[in-house]
A and B are shown apart, each in its own frame.
Chain A
Amino acid sequence: MSQKSELVTLTAEQMSAKLRSGEISARELTQAELDVIGAAEPSIQAFLARSSEEALAQADAVDKRRAKGEELPDLAGVPVAVKDMIVTKGIETTAASKILKGWIPPYDATVVARMKRVGMPILGKTNLDEFAQGSSTENSAFHPTFNPWDTTRVPGGSGGGSASAVASFESPLALGTDTGGSIRQPAAFTGTVGVKPTYGHVSRYGAIAMASSLDQVGPCARTVTDAAMLYDVIAGYDDHDSTSLPGKLPSMAAAAVKGARRDLKGLRIGIVKEATGDGFEPEVNASFNEGVELLEGMGAEVKEMSFPNFLHGIRVYYVIMPAEVSSNLARYDGMRYGLRVMPPAGVPQTAANMMACTREAGFGPEVKRRIILGTYALSAGKYDEWYGKAQRVRTVMIQDFAKAFRDIDVLVCPTAPTSAFKLGEIQDPATMYRNDIATIPANLAGLPALSIPSGLDGSGMPTGFQIMAAQRHDDTAFTVASALESAFTEKWGAPIWTKMKTPWLDSMPEE
């Protein structure tokens, strides 16, 4: 491995230390990541747009401030990639949809503004399923993204771009959005860490809405501490988002550091009975059980708990989510920005016909499917039967969780029923939807949930271990995750990514 490769395989925490000591500059680090992106993209395709010039300018600004002796935040100069579902001022933002192709936002999302304030160079925009709708990133209107562990396989979705970028060392950190598992399931598929914060902990202002009551922005990283550091940058009250929760948040990085001491005595853990066993691959279950044993070994009390409504989550989700999608995606009508397709000759050139032609041409089949489902669920005479009933079940699930968290501190289960599947392998939408069966409940209940790697299955693909905590107890999830990560790493002898073949790094030229 070259020097450059060594630099990019550091954790964000280690990069931060080297930047602060002056051992490396932000420009060197940013350039190294840009070089990896150049070398890896032909085989990974994690990015939709690169913002190399902006990233280097941001890095130079950090170096200049550091040279002046300014005290800078921990992640100053540490690069980051941004899911293309989040708006970036001056950088094309498409949600991986033809309908937004070419749109240059005039404003920054709150999370992006916060990262810029800290001095994190933004490397580019990562690929996703169109409007974050999918579980494999195959629904991107532009191109698929490949799993760095096996490029014949998907990286999961919708945030396959951010997960693959982090897994392949194109970026130490990335932002994702998670509506039903879009951060956590790709993390599981790519052997990385993905965090969905408590609903309301991270501002949604500037995150393109998919399903507003479920969407949450969160960090993607290779380690729990790295994810926690990015979490600390982006989280906190924002008066631009009415669903943002007021109050100061504890440091998640500190919670992760605490977890690394691996003392879980007194911690009460519940296993979601319904999300193990049947419907989950044996090897997924096996690695999950190893994780549970490690947690017990650190002093945690573990018990199995039944959530009869847990698996109803997917049914509730596929009513509420499309309903909100149908409304949130109405604005893409060709009037103000993005694609405009005029009606063909002979058809009246009216605004309504233009809107119809634009939406017909601009949206992919999965997006159209969900708009139609959601329009139906909200329509007159159907509302109570569908949207109304789904909201009532959602309320019951929230109550189930609230009750459970009186007796336990965290809930655990596998992140996804399988490891990464092959591109093109799943054609049936309903089968695809089942990928999110274990991740959806946390979105419906607004709970913090994260996924960490739990090992490799027989085909050498990573599996994920999900930890959920009570609302606003994200720090507890970080502490447990950090402890388990440490125990797993000790067991494996090295971080999981050392098992991954990285030909793009090996072939990188040194200047």
Chain B
Amino acid sequence: MTEKLMKFSEAIKRFDPVFGLEVHVELNTNTKLFCPAHYEFGGEPNTELTPVSLGLPGSLPVINRQAVIDGVRLGLALHCHVNEWSQFARKNYFYPDMPRDYQISQADKPTNGEGYLDVELEDGSTFRVPIERAHIEDDAGKNTHIGGADGRIEGADYSLVDYNRAGVPLVEIVTKPVTGAGEKVAEIAGAYVREIRDIARALNVSNGKLEQGNMRADVNVSLRESPDAPLGTRSETKNVNSFRGIEKTIVYEIRRQAAILADGGQVLQETRHWDEAMQTTAGGRLKSDANDYRYFPDPDLAMVHITPEQVEELRATLPEMPLHRKHRLQKEWGLSDFEMRDVINAGALDLIDQTVQAGATASGARKWWLGEIMRESNAREVSLEELPITPQDVAEVEKMIVGGKLNNKLAKQTVEAVLKGEGRPGDIVEKHGWKVMNDDSAIEKAVDDALAVNSDVAAELKAGNMKPIGVIIGAVMRATHGQADAKVVSGLIIKKTRV
């Protein structure tokens, strides 16, 4: 079924879009939220279990202290008010991936209350996303549907359940309805989720890998006639697990709802899902058929008490926030907005920062990571981090250049050797006996030889046409196995050909 869509630019002209996001961030505690079962992505199905995570009769949950600490730190980074008393509640619904047939979440007493996050847009402006709450809950297991066309339950022959993920701690960050975004609605949503990812990684509370399910979002979208009108009926697109998917979901829903409203129709309050293959959202169940979750405080768990003193202790552990750090480094490194964007897009911010901290200049560090090393990472189709070269290596090479031990050509050879896995730069340089030639008489002799062999070029130079000087430099460099300093060589050539 193809749905009628309105052009995005027209939809934005006619309607005011409002969105909301529920971002689930999987914490990277070693153990689950309510039992000491270990969890790691990709484990053999149903091996990372205890009586508690399998919900066996008689088993009881015990709160993982580290998960609460991580949750509070994430909340603080999102400027949330941390509630002194919070409470876990049971969210009751039957589903095969839910071992107890209730999820332990938080209802009216979440650990983190209201907050906000400022996100930066392409044009350099800042948009504040208001946050309603950031609560802690446990994840469900994972169903795999076999035999269906696209891995969905519809049409499947049978389904398999893996409970390894059941009980893994999540923080669910819920925005208030985000208004005033206008045509930048998708960009704001994408930037917001990326910023949360960066923060979660900076805090080291989550691996933040969307492709491994560390983060996913439920996307709510509604339209209204004007910013003064009451909120329209929203759709909720569940479990979108890529940044692009989140952005595209918002655009698609705006176009779909605008077409419905323009035809005088009504948007259904329903849950939908993002179909990556079709690049559309598809209808799920109507909200009116939805579960009544019958929340009530979990009698197995005491209330969580976090004193104002503990909040301040945790606040003191927060690292510099990613956006602040980005601005600081851009200034320190003297980069333009475009140059900084290239650094960010290359995923080289941390590597360059570490290289600078290891003693390299910012321009030197950036040149290597975005040049030689980036080419290698593209060729090998691996991330910069996965290459066998470290910020310390790059800094060492840079220091050898500055110290006159390597020229650019030797430095490039050295980096190539490190990338081939030959070892650390110092060892490589020593092993190959690479060094910049400082023996002026030897270089002078090589220059004389080169001028003699290439007498026609020498004649041109003497006639004042300096264009073919490269021929002589190249010959000298070959003769000196690249160890001569090219600047010294060209100086000598000029001196000798000047009449």
A interface residues (Cβ-Cβ under 8 A, vs B) = 86-87, 93, 95, 100, 103, 105-107, 109, 204-209, 211-213, 239-243, 323-324, 326-327, 330-333, 335-337, 351-352, 355, 375, 378-380, 383, 387
**Interface-forming stretch among B9-17, B91-99, B387-395?**
B91-99
* Identity of the chain A residue whose Cβ is nearest the Cβ of B61 in the assembled complex: A242
Whether B294 sits at the interface, judged by CB under 8 Å, is yes
Residue from B51, B92, B100, B294 in contact with A107 in the complex, judged by beta carbons closer than 8 Å = B51
Instruction: Provide the bound-state CA to CA distance between A379 and B93, in Å.
Output: 12
Is the Cβ of B58 less than 8 Å from the Cβ of A387? no
Contacts of B61 in A (CB 8 A): 242
Instruction: Provide the bound-state CA to CA distance between A111 and B167, in Å.
Output: 25
* Identity of the chain B residue whose Cβ is nearest the Cβ of A85 in the assembled complex: B58
Contacts of A106 in B (CB 8 A): 51, 56
Contacts of B101 in A (CB 8 A): 330-331, 333
Contacts of B292 in A (CB 8 A): 379-380
* Identity of the chain B residue whose Cβ is nearest the Cβ of A207 in the assembled complex: B58
Is the Cβ of A330 less than 8 Å from the Cβ of B102? yes
Contacts of A351 in B (CB 8 A): 96, 159
Is the Cβ of B99 less than 8 Å from the Cβ of A331? yes
Is the Cβ of B296 less than 8 Å from the Cβ of A352? no
Whether B299 sits at the interface, judged by CB under 8 Å, is yes
Contacts known (A375-B294, A378-B296); A336 close to B55, Cβ less than 8 A:
yes
Main secondary structure of the interface of B (DSSP, over half): loop
B interface residues (Cβ-Cβ under 8 A, vs A) = 51, 54-63, 90, 92, 94, 96, 99-102, 159, 161, 292, 294-296, 299-302
Tell which of A204, A207, A336 has the most Cβ of chain B within 10 Å. A336
Instruction: Provide the bound-state CA to CA distance between A208 and B99, in Å.
Output: 15
A-B contact pairs, 16 of them (CB 8 A): A95-B57, A106-B51, A106-B56, A109-B58, A204-B60, A206-B58, A239-B62, A242-B61, A242-B301, A243-B301, A326-B92, A331-B101, A335-B161, A351-B159, A375-B294, A378-B294
Contacts of B161 in A (CB 8 A): 335
Contacts known (A106-B56, A323-B296); A333 close to B62, Cβ less than 8 A:
no
Contacts of A352 in B (CB 8 A): 94
Contacts of A323 in B (CB 8 A): 296
Is the Cβ of B60 less than 8 Å from the Cβ of A205? yes
Contacts of A100 in B (CB 8 A): 57
Is the Cβ of A243 less than 8 Å from the Cβ of B302? yes
Contacts of A207 in B (CB 8 A): 58
Contacts known (A106-B51, A355-B94); A242 close to B300, Cβ less than 8 A:
yes
Instruction: Provide the bound-state CA to CA distance between A287 and B51, in Å.
Output: 46
Instruction: Provide the bound-state CA to CA distance between A100 and B56, in Å.
Output: 11
Contacts of A213 in B (CB 8 A): 299
Residue from B62, B100, B302 in contact with A330 in the complex, judged by beta carbons closer than 8 Å = B100
Contacts known (A331-B101, A333-B101); A105 close to B63, Cβ less than 8 A:
no
Contacts known (A95-B57, A327-B90, A355-B94); A242 close to B62, Cβ less than 8 A:
yes
Contacts known (A212-B300, A351-B159); A242 close to B60, Cβ less than 8 A:
yes
Contacts known (A107-B56, A204-B60); A242 close to B102, Cβ less than 8 A:
no
* Identity of the chain B residue whose Cβ is nearest the Cβ of A334 in the assembled complex: B96
Contacts of B302 in A (CB 8 A): 242-243
Instruction: Provide the bound-state CA to CA distance between A103 and B96, in Å.
Output: 19
Contacts of A380 in B (CB 8 A): 292, 294
Instruction: Provide the bound-state CA to CA distance between A313 and B99, in Å.
Output: 33
Given A213-B299, A324-B299, A326-B92, output 6 extra A-B contacts at Cβ < 8 Å: A209-B57, A212-B300, A240-B60, A327-B294, A331-B101, A352-B94
Tell which of A107, A209, A242, A387 has the most Cβ of chain B within 10 Å. A242
Contacts of A243 in B (CB 8 A): 299-302
Instruction: Provide the bound-state CA to CA distance between A333 and B62, in Å.
Output: 23
Give 7 nearest A-B pairs by CB, closest first.
A330-B101, A213-B299, A378-B294, A212-B299, A206-B58, A87-B58, A208-B57
Contacts of A239 in B (CB 8 A): 62
Contacts known (A242-B300, A378-B294); A205 close to B58, Cβ less than 8 A:
yes
Instruction: Provide the bound-state CA to CA distance between A327 and B258, in Å.
Output: 41
Contacts known (A323-B296, A330-B94, A378-B294); A337 close to B56, Cβ less than 8 A:
yes
Is the Cβ of A336 less than 8 Å from the Cβ of B94? no
